[in-house]
Each structure stands twice: as structure tokens, then as C-alpha cells.
Chains A and B, each alone.
Chain A
């Protein structure tokens, strides 16, 4: 495994929309076999950052490198071609479509039948079944609708799809935020599995409890600025929590609530 060179890196990237500075001077390196967690409250710039990484936006300033090579993505397709796959939180799957149709959506396998090019259902079904099996989800029927799967299973199908299609960097956008504990741990275990296979993972979340156990590095964002890029041995879970805007504000809230309680008043509106 090539650990010397980051598989993807941003150097001093900025992005603004009109007068709003969404990101300011962000740098990040992700190495193969490494989970990089992107933490921040709503509006911190997480979405803008993943959209830059996945080719939806181009940065106004700074540079992006894939395996040491400077790149400029014109579309998500470009990012995909370089092995950077994004798994969106809720936009990954069409619930009414079957597992195998979803798995191959946009990249349908075709076989030739005379002059015609036909969707190869047999291939699609067997690959979908096999890939799901690898992550411990037994699919009895790849023709069943994705809507019949649990939230965690659905997320895993989306990740398995990205991996199957040659992703070397996985960008996971809040993969666990809508899930219960059991479902979330299914996804986290799978993230670990992908990491162990040598993929670079960028894991976006605002849940420290999900990020900390699985992450190797943590980039903390607040109002478009980096609050630091830490290795796990440099920072504790509590420090991460405290550094997030939510952490500060929670402490503030706690203080004000206890003051109000001590004064025997209702908290001011």
C-alpha cells in the first residue's frame, strides 16, 4: 500500500457564493487506508467541501490533487472517473427500484443480442447478490425493491456499489445521521471494512460518537474555516466535542440554563 502519497488532497481551497464565504483556506490530505472525518455543525461548510471533492463545484482558490496530480473537475463524472465516489445521505437509491437495478443505475451492464444492446439482468443480479454477500447482507432476491431494505442496509448497498465501481476514495455524506444505533453500527463496521481494504474514506458527520471510533483523522470546520486537522492520537473525544460549534454552544446553553434555574426564573426567551 502506498502510504507516502495522499490519494486526494486539498491545499488552501476557498469557495464563496456571492458575498458568502462558504469555505476559507481549507487543506486536507487523505491517504489510502485512512478514514478522515469531517466534523462541523450545520452551515460549517461540510456540504460545500464534499461538493468540491466530488466535482459538483470548482474551488475559487487553492488546488486539488489526486495522487499527486493537480486536477480540476468539471462534473461529478470527472471525479468518478478518478475514483472519487460520493455516497449521498438520502439521494443514493430509488426505493421503488430493485436492488440490482439500483446497484447498476447509470452504469447498466449490457450484452449484445444481434444488433441490439440489452440490459444484462443475469449479470446484474448475480453481482448484486455477491457484493451484498461480501458485506454480510444476504439478499434472497436482488429483484426486491430497495424500499424493503432497512436504512443501514440501504446505505451499505450504496457504499458497496461505489466500491464495486472502482472507488478509491469514498465520500460518505452523513451516512449514519438518520439511523438508529444498530443500523448505524452496521454502516460503521462496513466503513472500517472499506478502510481495511485500502480505500480512502472521507466521512462527514456531526455526530462525534460515530466519527471518533472509526476515524483516523479529524477535520473540524466552523463557519467555513478549519479549526484544525488532527490525528486521533492528538485529540480526545471530548476535545473534539468541545471544539465543534455545537460543543461550545451546548456548554453555553448548559450554563445559562443552570443560571436561570438557580435564579428560579424561566430562561429568557
Chain B
């Protein structure tokens, strides 16, 4: 008798464990990541994609997108889009580059200025959306064009061209620049090379001499975003605002404030992305950040975030960004023409959306 009830308990326990797993929004993205790694291990296993150097390469791509995806997934869970994200990247890049190259301002001051201006733009985006009640899709589509136009117009007016080179030298002597463009872990990597964990180049230096600091930013922001979403009051307000803004307002959730803050956060993430790019590449370009708004949305959606809001995961968006990076770099390693990359990502997006819809239906199905 006791044995029978014990086995029954076990079964119950197992069922709830499975539903718990199915309820995780990031399930699809984790499964997708495993699938993608298996696929490239099979097709490009010997090419060095999964060597330390290859890993750092795709992690850097993933990290830059992942930084955006943290903010974008939070904003999407709150039920809004920010299509101006890509333009904001170019805008912020130019704000960093023009004063420092033309006016000779210190780089750290320009970076600070870019963050302040971005916060203003994000605030304006948010204010327009919540005050007009228009879909954020339309409002930020407008700011997408406005920001891109301003970036191009001012840059050409001031510098006579659309690219601003020469940031590398300026960044070298700046105290703030290394936290955006630097590398870390050099000594650990050197030690790893010495004991044979990772390979050495013919000149005796380790195969990888440092890990781009953007990867650290990505992990830290993902952790912070996850904590914010799942472990704070504000996180509950994010879910509530996106799930049903009216219901949330009726129980006293400051929906307006939540949404405006998340627009600000998204603009700040775009600026962080811009600072990382401008300072590590060494130039600003008015064409930077093109389509990044869509890539970030793809990463968030692959990560289990619903387009309609109210449901999603920051950790999921990290895996979404990881898939993005592995595929983008992996395709190059397999020798397949990289032209196919976008078709592949589009198909991934579609598969993710279908899967998410299915999971959501399962998660909220009446007994």
C-alpha cells in the first residue's frame, strides 16, 4: 500500500516537473541552441568554429545583439516595440564621435553626453506612446526615420561626410573607453595556453589573448534584467503592463511610468551598443545599426517573448542572441555563402513564433 502511494507520488512529482519545464518561456530557445550547436558541430566541426578563437568570435557577435535584446525583451514583455533602436545606435555613435573629433572634447564626456541624449530620446518615445495612445510600432517607426535623418543631416553638415574615423587614437588615451572597447581575462588565457588548455600561435602568444568586454556586459545585463523581471516589484509591473494594461491600471500599477522607463532603457542599450562599436572599431558611421531593431526583436522572440506582451524571458533573449551569433559566424565557417544567413534567420523566427504560440496555448489551457 505504502509502496503504491509512493510510486504514485513520484509520478505526480514528475508531471509537475514537466509542466514546470514547459512553462519556461526560454525552453524553445535553449532547445534551439542545442540544435544549432549540434548542426554546426556536424557540418563545421573541424573548421575551428568551436575553437577558443571561433567561440570568442561568435560570442562577441551574440553579445552585441544580446545587449540590445535584454532591453528589447523587457520592453516587449511590457507590450511595446521600439523600432527606432537601430537609428538610435547611429545617432548615439555620431554624438560620441563628432564632439570628440571635431571639437576635441574628451571621449568620456562625449560618451556621457550620448547616454544623456539617449535617455531623453527614449523618454520622448515613451511619452509619445503613452500620451497619444498610438501603437508604439507607428510612433517609433516615425522616430526611426527622424533619428536616421538627423544623424545623416548633421553629420554631413558638420563633417562633410557620412563616416567619422579617428576614434581609435582618441579612445586609447581615455580612461572610460576601456569599459566599452577593452578586453579582459588576458592573464587567465595566457595561463590556459601555458598549460595547454587552449592553443598557441606560432609566435608563442595564446590563440586568444583577451575576451571582449562586451561579452561581460552581455552576461551582466542579462543577469540584471532577469533579476529585475523575476525578483522585483517593477518586474511584476512589466508583466502586468504588457499582459493587460487596463487590469494593471485598475489595481494601481503605474503602467505609464513602467513603459516610459523601458523606452529609456532601450535607448540606453542602443547607446551602449554604439559606444562599444565606435570605440572598438574606431569610427562612427551614419549607417550603423541598420536593422538592429529587427534583429533584437528576433532574438527576443526566439527567446520566448510574445509579440503581444505579457510573457517572455530575458534569459531566453540571451539564447536568442546566442543562436543569432552562432548561425551568423557558423555559416561563414561551413563555407556556405553568407547570403543565405538572413533566409535562415527568418525561418528560425517563424519556427520560434509557431513554437511559442503552441507553448503559450498549453500553458494557459483550461483544465
Contacts and interface: CB of A to CB of B under 8 A. Distances in A.
| Chain A residues touching B, range | 20 to 34
A105 interface: yes
A117 interface: yes
Nearest to A149: B366
Contacts of A94: 239-240, 243-244, 247-248, 310
Interface in B207-245: 230-233, 235-237, 239-240, 243-244
B253 A105 contact: yes
Contacts of A91: 244, 246-247, 250
A106 B310 contact: no
> Which of B23, B236, B237, B239 has the most C-beta atoms of chain A within 10 angstroms of its own C-beta?
B236
Interface in A104-119: 104-108, 110, 117-119
A140 B232 CA distance: 24
A118 B232 contact: yes
A228 interface: no
Contact of B236 (A76, A108, A149): A108
B141 to A, nearest CB: 26
Contacts, number: 91
Interface stretch (A95-103, A206-214, A248-256): A95-103
A97 B363 contact: no
Contacts of A96: 239, 243, 306, 310-311, 360, 363-364
> Which of B239, B250, B306, B311 has the most C-beta atoms of chain A within 10 angstroms of its own C-beta?
B250
A150 interface: yes
A106 B252 contact: yes
> Which of A76, A80, A94, A140 has the most C-beta atoms of chain B within 10 angstroms of its own C-beta?
A94
A76 B248 CA distance: 12
A93 interface: yes
> Which of A92, A106, A108, A150 has the most C-beta atoms of chain B within 10 angstroms of its own C-beta?
A106
A95 B364 contact: yes
Interface in B11-60: 16, 19-20, 23
B239 A101 contact: yes
Nearest to B230: A119
A193 interface: no
Nearest to A93: B247
Contact of B365 (A76, A97, A104, A148): A148
B233 A141 contact: no
A260 B237 CA distance: 58
A119 to B, nearest CB: 5
| Chain B residues touching A, range | 20 to 34
Contact of A147 (B230, B233, B248, B363): B363
B232 A117 contact: yes
B233 A110 contact: yes
B251 interface: yes
B252 A76 contact: yes
B251 A105 contact: yes
Nearest to B361: A147
A144 B247 CA distance: 19
A155 B306 CA distance: 25
B363 A107 contact: no
B201 interface: no
B131 interface: no
Contacts of A76: 250, 252
Contacts of A107: 251-252
Interface in A71-87: 76-77, 80, 86
Contacts of A106: 237, 240, 248, 251-253
A94 B360 CA distance: 13
A106 B251 CA distance: 6
Interface in A171-193: none
12 contacts: A91-B247, A94-B240, A95-B243, A101-B240, A105-B236, A106-B248, A117-B233, A119-B230, A121-B231, A141-B16, A148-B365, A148-B366
Interface of A: 76-77, 80, 86, 88, 91-97, 101, 104-108, 110, 117-119, 121, 140-141, 143-145, 147-150
Which 4 residue pairs of A and B lie closest in terms of their CB atoms, listed nearest first?
Answer: A147-B364, A94-B243, A106-B251, A106-B252
Interface of B: 16, 19-20, 23, 230-233, 235-237, 239-240, 243-244, 246-248, 250-253, 306, 310-311, 360, 363-367
